[in-house]
Amino acid sequence: MFGLDQKDTKFLWIVVALTLLTPFILNPFPAESAMAQFNAGYPALMQRFAIYGILAIGFNLLFGLTGYLSFGHAAFLGIGSYAAVWMFKLVSMNVIPAILLAMVLSGLFALVIGYISLRRSGIYFSILTLAFAQMSYNLAYSVFTPITNGETGLQLSLSDPRILDAENTSGSLPVPNLWINMNASWDLHLGPWTFTLNAGYYLCAVIAIIAFYLSMRIFRSPFGLMLRAIKSNQTRMAYTGLNTKPYTLAVFVISGMYAGLAGGLLAAMDPLAGAERMQWTASGEVVLMTILGGAGTLMGPVLGAGFIKYCENIFSKINEGILHDWFSFLPDPIENVVVWIGARFVGDGWQLTLGVLFMLIVIFLPGGLVEGGKRIAKRWSKKTDTTTTPAE
């Protein structure tokens, strides 16, 4: 089905189910409980799970499948965001044209950067992509300010022409839409639980499912097999007379278009584009997502993206007051020490927690979270076999 074998089709349906049920899965605790602060089922965060999942899926095609480590993918993310906002300003608030333009411009930009950068491999390729990303950031921040609005960022205004939209007479800024506004939400109350169903999230979710399906097709295709061969031993392939550059350039452009799609969706959910999305730290973040989840696997980058965005948005909200509530059962001197230590790893120090977890995963789980899941499943199957096999 869908050009996939039975195993992949079943896996795809599981991914579809989990994605569409995310508002329920990420809200395990009742709204009034003390644990509700660990719920992640609110629209802005769910949208970022899906969007950065798309970014990581595209990056995984280049790094995980082909072995080319790029530190410049934030450039394509930023270009996608700028393209989408300009489409909103000049043409229409419909998100589809904005997303398409974001993908096209990012793909063209990736074609130029890839054509130059792929003349080298290894660390030299990584440095070249980093250099292009930093040049793009500086151009957006201080040179092309009529196009990017510099450090303030590109945003909508009431004077924008929007030639395909009816005249705005409401006096307020319009909202990106696809028949319904992207910020439209509906609350579903089931006992003590409250689940929020958001139009913007489900648009991102459907696009993420399509992006994941396309990555599966690439993984299982002859093209994907060629990319794996390039990662395995590109020199040996060159000795056989096979020119690998068209393959590496093609996957670089595809990966850049994934990043542009993510940037366009970021602008569709919040029509603002800033140069900070093109910084080297943003490029490094997608590298962390992919390695943390499992480079070269289908689901790993999505898990890594969700894990990092969860830490960023949930751990960063925990402060010393919350920690004091948690450890109030301890004697005061011990409580103060425990809270002081814990405060270093939450709030503004959440990245220290992420760094420790990343270090542990790299050391003990080189294959990322996916490898950890496989190990657990393997041990569980062994226990099941032991309990179900009758004694001789």
- Is residue 23 predicted with pLDDT exceeding 80? yes
pLDDT of residue 94: 92
How confident is residue 135, by pLDDT bands cut at 50, 70 and 90? very high
- Which distant-in-sequence residues (6+ apart) come within 8 Å of 345 by Cβ? 315, 352, 353, 356
Phi first, then psi, for residue 297 (nearest 5°) are -105, 160
Phi first, then psi, for residue 172 (nearest 5°) are -125, 160
How confident is residue 381, by pLDDT bands cut at 50, 70 and 90? confident
pLDDT of residue 302: 92
Nearest to 287 by CA among 122, 64, 107: 64
pLDDT of residue 1: 58
DSSP state of 278: G
Q: What is the mean pLDDT of residues 326-337?
A: 87
How confident is residue 380, by pLDDT bands cut at 50, 70 and 90? confident
The answer to whether residues 230 and 240 touch, using CB atoms and an 8 Å cutoff, is no
Summarised one tens digit per residue, pLDDT across range 55-103 is 999 999 999 999 999 999 999 999 999 999 999 999 999 999 999 999 9
3-class SS of residue 3: coil
How confident is residue 374, by pLDDT bands cut at 50, 70 and 90? confident
pLDDT of residue 102: 96
Summarised one tens digit per residue, pLDDT across range 263-283 is 999 999 999 898 888 888 888
Q: What is the mean pLDDT of residues 101-117?
A: 95
- Which distant-in-sequence residues (6+ apart) come within 8 Å of 56 by Cβ? 286, 289, 290, 293, 301, 302, 304, 305
pLDDT of residue 387: 63
Question: For the chain, what is the mean pLDDT?
Answer: 88
Work out whether strand 154-155 and strand 177-178 pair parallel, antiparallel, or are unpaired: unpaired
Q: What is the mean pLDDT of residues 110-139?
A: 92
Summarised one tens digit per residue, pLDDT across range 167-226 is 665 677 888 999 899 999 998 988 888 899 999 999 999 999 999 999 999 999 999 999
Q: Which residue has the higher pLDDT, 234 or 247?
A: 247
pTM of the model: 0.92
Q: Where are the domains of the chain?
A: 6-299, 318-392
Q: Helices in 169-319 by DSSP H: which ranges? A: 199-220, 222-239, 245-269, 280-293, 300-314
pLDDT of residue 391: 45
